[in-house]
Amino acid sequence: MYQVLLTDRAWPSLDIETEVLAAAGARLIEAPAGDEKTLCELAAEADAIATNWAKVTPAVIAAAPRLKTVARLGIGLDNIAIPECTARGIPVTNSPDYCTHEVSDHALGLLLALSRKIAFFHHRTKQGEYNLGAGLPLTRIKGQKLGLVGLGNTARALVPKARALGLEILAHTSSGNDYGTGCQMVSLGELLSQSDFISVHAPLTPATRKMFGREQFRQMKPTAYLINTSRGGLIDEAALEEAIKSDCIAGAALDVFDPEPCDLSRPLFQDERVIVTPHAAFISEQSLEQMRREVMEQIVQVFRGEKPRNLVNLK
C-alpha cells in the first residue's frame, strides 16, 4: 500500500484526502509536527509527500528513498527543495488556480478598505470615536492607478474587477508580457512612481526576496498604498515599517508575512494605517475542496505511472 505523508494543513478534516487515496489503495499518514527532524523520520516510509506550508527540505528529500512525488497544497513552491527533487527525477506538483477568485477578491477588498479607510474607521468607532474628520482626506477611486507586480492567474483575475471600479492598470513583469490583459506594461520604477495602489503578485524566489525595500518605498508616492497577498518574503518588513512611520507611503494591507504567523505586537502591525489579515486570502469552502481533491488526484496519477496534471518540473 502506498503511503502519503501529509506535513501540515490549514483545514479541520481529512475526509477528502482519505477518500481519494483510499480509492487508489493508498494510505494517508499525518505528521504530528512540521519540523525537519519529524518529517525526515516519517519520510523514510513515504511514497509521496503532500505539504501545505511546512518546508520539504533537501534533508527531507534525502530521507525518503521510496519517494515518487512531492505535492504542494497551494500555489507557491518556495517551501519545496525542487532542485533535489528534479535531480532524483521526482515530479513536483501544485494547484495553480484553485484560489484565483478568492485571492483577487481579497486583494480588491483590501484596496477598497485602504482607499475608503474602512478598516481605519471601523477601528476608531469600535473604540468609541465617531469622527469623520479623523480619516480625511479621502480620494475618489475612479481614475487612480493600480500597479500590478506580476501577472499570474490571480493578478489577471484582478484586472477586470479593478477596471470595473474605474482604476487604470499598470503592470510589471520580468518578461514584459501582458498575457492578453491589455494592461500598460511599464518598468518597475515607473510602476512605483506612478501607482496609487500597488498589489504584489510575484512568486518568491531568490531574485524576488525583499524586492520591496527602502529604495522601492522611496520611489512610491507618499499617498500610495502597498497590498501584498502573495508571499511575505517579497517585502522587507523593517523597511516597510520605516516607510510608514516616516510617511514615505500612506499605508499597507498585508495578508502574508515572513515568518508566519507574524508577531502581532510589532509596531508595524499595530499601526492603524496597516491592515493585517491572517493569510486568509486563499480560503473559501470551494477553493479548499478544489485544491485538496486536485492535489490528491495528482499524487494518484503519479502512482499510476501517469503524468500529473500540474507538473512544475521534469518538463
Active site residues: 231, 260, 279
Distance between CA atoms of residues 308 and 52, nearest Å: 18
Per the structure block, which three cell numbers stand in for 127? 473604540
Residue 99: how many CB atoms within 10 A of its CB?
26
Task: Tell me the three state secondary structure of residue 239.
Answer: helix
Rg (CA), the chain: 21
Angle of helix 153-164 relative to helix 100-115, nearest 10 degrees, comes to 40
Cβ atoms of residues 55 and 31 within 8 Å: no
The torsion angles phi and psi of 138, rounded to 5 degrees, stand at: -115, 145
> How far is residue 168 from each of residues 113, 137, 183, 216, 227, measured CA to CA in Å?
18, 21, 9, 21, 16
CA 97 from centroid of its chain's CA atoms = 12
Closest C-alpha to 117, from 133, 104, 128, 106: 133
Q: C-alpha angle with apex 277: 274 to 283, nearest 5 degrees? A: 150
> For residues 189 and 152, what is the distance between their CA atoms, to the nearest angstrom?
20
